[in-house]
């Protein structure tokens, strides 16, 4: 026999599935939590998070990079290696499958790890860039590394300028393409899913707020409560690698 909390979770999954069944447009926002079960640490976990021993301003800002590019690059190279060795988990695969089950589907990710694409998701809007690409600080374009930069700091093959990871740091603008497409999807969706994000970082966190204002059903998937939880219509409390496949099952 199922205990009370299992019955309550079944009822929440049924409500979420019902909203998805009726939806014409679905918008999904994912954060670091969806990749946690692939072995990639989240940012804000006090013990295991990527910033557990650092101040974010010492690592993820243009000022930090200007001050000490080697220190910042070392952190990114360490994370790139972790990401290259990681595999998408059932949460990523469930979202790739969900795309085929609803008429219009937009997947916005704050993650820079490319795991949604590796799970088969198409047209992913990379809100905070992609850690595996290099960008030239001089030309501001995606760039190849020069041959002779294997030992020191990575340099652009075309102009010799310093390279940086193609991600969005604090104080930097979101790339306009993903930003506009994500805003349009959030404002026009019937169902908005917020998965594995602490909902603390803006403007990404404002997407759920836009969806709420526009009258969408907002579903949150997260083992912990967030600032979004009180406003969400359905809160599925648990890991996305477990709950998203169950949501798909409830849909069929
Ligand atoms: C699980 C799980 C499991 C665990 N299953 N879940 C308005 C108000 C206040 C501040 C601002 C504002 N507007 C802008 C700001 C400033 C700033 C900001 O938001 N600061 C806040 C900290 C207050 N924003 C910016 O600076 C942004 N830029 C900007 O606004 O520019 C303006 C501008 C305009 C025009 C010209 C110039 C400028 C840029 C933000 C960039 C964020 N960048 C980072 C780093 C990316 C590169 C890298 O990876 O190194 O993005 S910071 C970091 O946070 C990363 C993430 O994408 C982002 C969000 O984190 P996320 O994904 O939510 O992770 P966590 O760790 O916080 O949460 C994980 C969650 O998963 C938890 O809830 C767990 O419970 C859960 N979980 N296991 C499901 N198995
Ligand atoms: Zn260059």
User: 216 vs 55, 101, 185, 200, 232, CA distance in Å?
Assistant: 36, 18, 11, 20, 10
CA distance 121 to 93: 8
The reply to whether ligand 1 has any atom less than 6 angstroms from the CB of 239 is yes
pLDDT digits (tens, 9 = 90+) for 32-76: 999 999 999 999 887 788 888 888 888 999 999 999 999 999 999
CA distance 189 to 13: 19
The reply to whether ligand 1 has any atom less than 6 angstroms from the CB of 31 is yes
Taking the whole predicted model, whether its pTM rises above 0.75 is answered as: yes
The reply to whether ligand 1 has any atom less than 6 angstroms from the CB of 194 is no
Give the DSSP letter of residue 147: G
Kindly report the average pLDDT of the chain as a whole number: 96
The reply to whether ligand 1 has any atom less than 6 angstroms from the CB of 123 is no
Residue 105 pLDDT exceeds 90: yes
Nearest CA to ligand 1 atom 9: 202
pLDDT range class, residue 108, cuts 50, 70, 90: very high
Tell me the HSE value of 9 on the side-chain side, using a 13 A CA sphere: 17
pLDDT digits (tens, 9 = 90+) for 5-19: 988 999 999 999 999
Q: How far is the CA of 79 from the centre of ligand 2 (A)?
A: 23
Nearest CA to ligand 1 atom 7: 202
pLDDT digits (tens, 9 = 90+) for 155-211: 999 999 999 999 999 999 999 999 999 999 999 999 999 999 999 999 999 999 999
Is 92 a known active-site residue?
A: no
């Amino acid at each position: 026999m199922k205990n009370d909390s299992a019955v309550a979770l079944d009822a929440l999954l049924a409500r979420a599935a019902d909203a998805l069944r009726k939806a014409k447009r679905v918008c999904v926002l994912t954060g670091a939590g969806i990749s946690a079960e692939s072995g990639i640490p989240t940012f804000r976990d006090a013990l295991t998070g990527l910033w557990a021993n650092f101040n974010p301003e010492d690592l993820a800002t243009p000022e930090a990079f200007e001050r000490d590019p080697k220190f910042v690059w070392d952190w990114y190279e360490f994370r790139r290696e972790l990401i290259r060795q990681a595999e998408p988990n059932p949460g990523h695969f469930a979202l790739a499958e969900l795309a085929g089950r609803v008429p219009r589907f937009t997947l916005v990710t704050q993650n820079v790890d490319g795991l949604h694409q590796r799970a088969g998701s198409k047209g992913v809007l990379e809100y905070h860039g992609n850690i595996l690409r290099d960008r030239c600080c001089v030309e501001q374009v995606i760039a190849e590394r020069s041959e002779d930069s294997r030992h020191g700091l990575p340099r652009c093959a075309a102009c010799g300028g310093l390279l940086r990871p193609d991600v969005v740091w604090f104080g930097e603008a979101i790339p306009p393409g993903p930003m506009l497409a994500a805003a349009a999807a959030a404002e026009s969706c019937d169902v908005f899913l917020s998965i594995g994000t602490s909902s603390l970082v803006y403007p990404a966190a404002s997407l759920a707020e836009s969806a709420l204002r526009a009258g969408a059903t907002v579903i949150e998937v997260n083992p912990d409560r967030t600032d979004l939880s009180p406003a969400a219509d359905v809160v599925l409390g648990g890991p996305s690698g477990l709950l998203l496949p169950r949501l798909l099952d409830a849909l069929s």
